Amino acid sequence: MNGAALSVRRRVLPVERIAFPAGVAAVGLLAGAVCLRGALRFAFWQDEVASARAVAEPGPVAMLGHVARTESTPPLWYALAWLAHRCGLALVDVRLLSVAAAALLAAGTALAARRVVPSSAALLSGLAVALGYQFDFHGRELRAYELAALLTVALAVAAARGSDRTLALVVAAGSLTHYFFLFSVAVVLVWAPRRGRAVGAGLVPFALWAPMFARQYAQHRFGFIGPFDPRAVLDTYWTMFARAQPQDAVVHVLAPLALLGAVVAGCVVLARSSNEGRLWAMLALGPVVLAAALWIAGVRIYDVRNLIVTGPFAAVAATSLLSHLPRRAGATLACAAAVLVVVGFVRANRVHPVAYDRIAAALVAEGWQPRDPIVVDGNVYALWGPLEWYLPHRPVLVLGSTARAGRVFVVHVGRALVTRLDRTHAWRRVPVLVGT
Instruction: Report pLDDT digits (tens) over 241-286.
Output: 987 666 555 566 788 999 999 999 999 999 999 999 999 999 999 9
Q: What angle do CA 119, 121, 127 make, to 5 degrees?
A: 105
Residue 426 is predicted with a pLDDT of: 39
How many whole angstroms separate alpha carbon 102 and alpha carbon 120? 20
Residue 348 is predicted with a pLDDT of: 82
- Where does 115-239 show beta strands of DSSP type E? none
Residue 180 is predicted with a pLDDT of: 97
Residue 56 is predicted with a pLDDT of: 96
Instruction: Report pLDDT digits (tens) over 311-350.
Output: 999 999 999 998 888 888 888 888 888 898 898 888 888 8
Work out the end-to-end distance of the chain between its first and last CA atoms, rounded to an integer number of angstroms.
63
CB 240 within 8 A of CB 259: no
Residue 402 is predicted with a pLDDT of: 61
Residue 381: Cβ-neighbour burial (10 angstroms; 0-12, 13-18, 19+)? exposed
How many whole angstroms separate alpha carbon 181 and alpha carbon 204? 15
**Which amino acid makes up residue 317?**
A
Q: What is the pTM of this model?
A: 0.89
CB 107 within 8 A of CB 25: yes
Residues of the chain falling short of pLDDT 70 = 1-16, 244-252, 401-406, 413-436
Residue 10 is predicted with a pLDDT of: 40
CB 53 within 8 A of CB 142: no
Provide the b/e sequence for 106-128 (b: ≥16 CB within 10 Å): bbbbbbbbbbbbbbbbbbbbbbb
Residue 16 is predicted with a pLDDT of: 66
For the chain, give the mean pLDDT.
Answer: 87
Residue 418 is predicted with a pLDDT of: 53
Which one, of 201, 169, 171, 206, lies nearest residue 186 by Cα? 171
How many whole angstroms separate alpha carbon 185 and alpha carbon 262? 24
**Which amino acid makes up residue 434?**
V
The residues pairing with 420 across neighbouring beta strands, listed in sequence order, are 409, 428
How many helices (H) does the chain have, and how many strands (E)? 20, 4
Q: What is the dihedral of CA 187, 201, 195, 77, to 10 degrees?
A: 40
Which one, of 200, 20, 31, lies nearest residue 127 by Cα? 31
Residue 249 is predicted with a pLDDT of: 55
Which one, of 380, 436, 378, 367, lies nearest residue 408 by Cα? 367
For residue 263, give every residue at least 6 positions away whose Cβ sits within 8 Å of its Cβ, in sequence order, or none.
237, 284, 285, 314, 317, 318
